[in-house]
Chain A
């Protein structure tokens, strides 16, 4: 066992006399336990609940409610986080009810309730275990006091307390009332990994039944007595702003309550990192029902005008910065030209090892290739939306948001209402992928509610969602490799940039594995808003790098896995430089596992294989992708995937996540692209924005985890970036042509 101090976030374990979160006891009548559907039975509700800490309460009959702190968008934290708590609490999973916690910055310090960066489980690991372990300890102390025996002699198992010497036993429910009075222990013991009974076993999605029966659980499903529907109209192009609005026609439409303009960020407002927002001024349409508001929106007349260059203060991760927003209506064609130009010029050096210039001069062979990728829209299936009810100085909010703590500050500043008066209910999100880290739509909803003095549900149409994007940037990377006459890699050069940021991670592999190494970066300013998109930057650079290494391996006459392993061997035994951002042994580990599991080297007729590996968000992933050609079109037959993310909390759910990331990656590699003309997004809905569909999805995906005792790391993002390289490398085998520019299949016909 590990003894850990609970002090660093004792605040979150403070007991409250009120019921946690308020109103959580109501409406449990159809809630079911966490056990598999087949043996499902409705749990008997207790007569009384006892709050043990912010994360859990125990009923007098032993049923446990665990509050899952983080917003859920499909990464399955609503199951896996409670599993971690339940493990240390030492309860039977089938007696656990999971509820989504509301946002409460003071109560849920273990994770900050931020879903993003594949960091939920990684960051929450210790705090969540502690939440369970402190509760268990308090139950033991309550039993020890009741039985007048030393607490050290009490053992627990599956929600029961035992004292062997006296033969006494009690369920947690019997001791819950007394335990709730015990002071939070200063130190608790955590289980040894080998004693885990829940962690490491596959448990079904706690919301599975609700999802398949269509229960209301998403932001768009929110209802409140007297609630109105709101929509917004924003400038049609980046680089434009509202000039004037003629709202009369729209106001006269049936069912319309009001039409007005709102300004979501004041001009002198100091933006935080997640306050990204291209259109802070817009028109709001409010009415009785969605269809009526949609129709009124069409009747709206507005004039838009190009804005001039301006600057703003952004207080983001890198500290306070004055950011200049360029004027102009940008187009994809001019982006491409500018990117091609900058790729040719020297750029800012972000790392240099050895003497790359001389090594390239003396090389027997130099390979140079350039890779590009377009902007991508997140296209969460549930469009942006939020419920808001502003009543005087009280704000009630509910809906899909990845980072409630960040946006609460913005709402507070804009409405001039203290955060204590703002309540945020976290609904299940219909996808996030980074997009819902940027919560401008919450400020919009709040302002609209304040103006019409009624509860309001703000709904984006798909078109609003796709054209008010905070997109994945467009990138370019140029690689050069120097080989000597024996095919040894003697120098490596990456120069990358994008609109508006560089995708280069200078200290990642193969930095550290090559004596002469150079990384350079450039960027092009833009007024198109960009932000986090499943594994930011990695989601491009991994594919480019892994395609290039494949080509270099071929030129060197090596097997592509063998070639990568040789480089990793060097990085492990004799690393170049000190700031290498990866563990070469674990990196090699996933390549070795995927080689074994995919039967690498055994050719099958008409099956074309590509390999790729990457490390990001503290997790290592390798893929082997099998492609077949059908009627001249590539189809992914199989993907074999090896992952090292440390301890796997919920293996089947983690596999599901990897399958999704792989499918998402195949789709974006083949089809994904957002393009712009005169500042306007050229795709507005799924008739033109090509998404991967059933017939194009991989036929089979096998996910393998490296057995590990290391604390868990990220799963939502890491399997995504390397898949682009695996697709490209398999495409080369199938077609004899290398794919350098995403999307690899261009804009083919859209299926519907």
Chain B
């Protein structure tokens, strides 16, 4: 066990965990931030996507010991009132079905738009290909990303 001081959603938080613990479980089990989801544990589904210094990152593959002073944003901290352009576009298009993958989808989409304000279809395909939606909401996700980009 070791103590880590983390910078998450603009707050300084402290945990005492095994250094190999993936951030996914630090968030979910130790910090009550359960918006970030477990889907595969091997960086294949994207359900656990967070932002590490603004870039999309699969938190299931990020040991807490590797975080250092990089800042982490989770779905809970993406915006104060749930009004990030991507979140608004998601509501406008009523994207979710079961909703389980959507936090990861939104985090991937928000990171994409951060780096590329008007992505092409191919850009969206590349950025979002790591996020599985078992319910098959891809067409709405793509439409919502375009809305957010233009909004």
Seen from chain A, the residues whose Cβ lies within 8 Å of a Cβ on chain B are 36-38, 72-76, 204-205, 207-209, 211-218, 220-221, 223, 229, 254, 289-292, 379-383, 428-433, 459, 461-462, 652-653, 656-657, 659-664, 667, 685-687, 691-695, 697-701, 750-752
Q: In the bound complex, how far is the Cα of B131 from the Cα of A2, in angstroms?
A: 48
Please give the distance in Å from A646's CB to the nearest CB on chain B.
21
Q: Say yes or no for B114: interface residue by CB 8 A criterion.
A: no
**Residue contact B45 to A381, C-beta cutoff 8 Å:** yes
Q: Say yes or no for B4: interface residue by CB 8 A criterion.
A: no
Tell me which residues across on chain B come within 8 A of A653, comparing CB atoms: 94
Q: In the bound complex, how far is the Cα of B133 from the Cα of A662, in angstroms?
A: 13
Out of A38, A209, A752, name the residue touching B82 (CB < 8 Å). A209
Q: Say yes or no for B134: interface residue by CB 8 A criterion.
A: yes
Please give the distance in Å from A465's CB to the nearest CB on chain B.
10
Nearest A residue (CB) for B86? A212
**Residue contact A382 to B32, C-beta cutoff 8 Å:** no
**Residue contact A382 to B37, C-beta cutoff 8 Å:** yes
Contacts known (A290-B25, A659-B139, A697-B138); A214 close to B76, Cβ less than 8 A: yes
| 18 contacting pairs across A/B (C-beta < 8 A) | A72-B98, A74-B99, A208-B94, A211-B96, A213-B87, A215-B35, A216-B34, A291-B22, A381-B132, A382-B100, A431-B135, A657-B97, A659-B140, A693-B131, A694-B128, A694-B142, A698-B139, A752-B130
Contacts known (A430-B99, A694-B138); A381 close to B47, Cβ less than 8 A: yes
Tell me which residues across on chain B come within 8 A of A751, comparing CB atoms: 129-130
Q: Say yes or no for B72: interface residue by CB 8 A criterion.
A: no
Please give the distance in Å from B25's CB to the nearest CB on chain A.
4
Q: Say yes or no for B137: interface residue by CB 8 A criterion.
A: yes
**Residue contact A660 to B97, C-beta cutoff 8 Å:** yes
Contacts known (A289-B25, A697-B139); A214 close to B36, Cβ less than 8 A: yes
Q: In the bound complex, how far is the Cα of B63 from the Cα of A720, in angstroms?
A: 40
Nearest B residue (CB) for A385? B38
Interface residues of B in 93-135 (CB under 8 A from A): 94, 96-103, 106, 121, 124-126, 128-135
**Residue contact B29 to A656, C-beta cutoff 8 Å:** no
Tell me which residues across on chain B come within 8 A of A659, comparing CB atoms: 136-137, 139-140
Nearest A residue (CB) for B138? A697
Given contacts A209-B82, A752-B44, 8 further A-B contacts (CB under 8 A): A204-B94, A211-B102, A214-B76, A216-B34, A218-B37, A223-B32, A691-B132, A694-B129
**Residue contact B91 to A208, C-beta cutoff 8 Å:** yes
Tell me which residues across on chain B come within 8 A of A752, comparing CB atoms: 43-44, 130
Q: Say yes or no for B59: interface residue by CB 8 A criterion.
A: no
Nearest B residue (CB) for A40? B91
**Residue contact B136 to A662, C-beta cutoff 8 Å:** yes
Nearest B residue (CB) for A428? B99
**Residue contact B90 to A431, C-beta cutoff 8 Å:** no
Please give the distance in Å from A596's CB to the nearest CB on chain B.
22
Q: In the bound complex, how far is the Cα of B25 from the Cα of A74, in angstroms?
A: 25
Out of B28, B37, B42, name the residue touching A687 (CB < 8 Å). B42
Tell me which residues across on chain A come within 8 A of B69, comparing CB atoms: none
Task: Report which residue of B100, B125, B131, B140 has the largest number of chain A beta carbons within 10 angstroms of its beta carbon.
Answer: B100
Contacts known (A697-B139, A752-B130); A429 close to B76, Cβ less than 8 A: no
Q: Say yes or no for B18: interface residue by CB 8 A criterion.
A: yes
Contacts known (A214-B35, A660-B137, A691-B134); A685 close to B44, Cβ less than 8 A: yes
Tell me which residues across on chain A come within 8 A of B134, comparing CB atoms: 379-381, 431, 433, 664, 691
Q: Sort A-B residue pairs by CB-CB distance and give the 9 closest, nearest first.
A: A214-B35, A430-B100, A663-B136, A74-B98, A214-B75, A74-B97, A697-B138, A211-B99, A686-B44
Tell me which residues across on chain B come within 8 A of A432, comparing CB atoms: 98
Q: In the bound complex, how far is the Cα of B43 from the Cα of A751, in angstroms?
A: 11
Out of B87, B97, B106, B136, name the residue touching A692 (CB < 8 Å). B136
Tell me which residues across on chain A come within 8 A of B96, comparing CB atoms: 74, 205, 207-208, 211-212
Q: Say yes or no for B57: interface residue by CB 8 A criterion.
A: no
Tell me which residues across on chain A come within 8 A of B141, comparing CB atoms: 694
Please give the distance in Å from B107's CB to the nearest CB on chain A.
9
**Residue contact A220 to B37, C-beta cutoff 8 Å:** yes
Q: Say yes or no for B30: interface residue by CB 8 A criterion.
A: yes
Q: In the bound complex, how far is the Cα of B91 from the Cα of A686, in angstroms?
A: 28
**Residue contact B76 to A213, C-beta cutoff 8 Å:** yes
Please give the distance in Å from A487's CB to the nearest CB on chain B.
38
**Residue contact A694 to B29, C-beta cutoff 8 Å:** no
Tell me which residues across on chain A come within 8 A of B54, comparing CB atoms: none
Task: Report which residue of A428, A432, A657, A752 has the largest number of chain B beta carbons within 10 angstroms of its beta carbon.
Answer: A752
Tell me which residues across on chain A come within 8 A of B25, comparing CB atoms: 289-291
**Residue contact B136 to A660, C-beta cutoff 8 Å:** yes
Please give the distance in Å from A163's CB to the nearest CB on chain B.
39
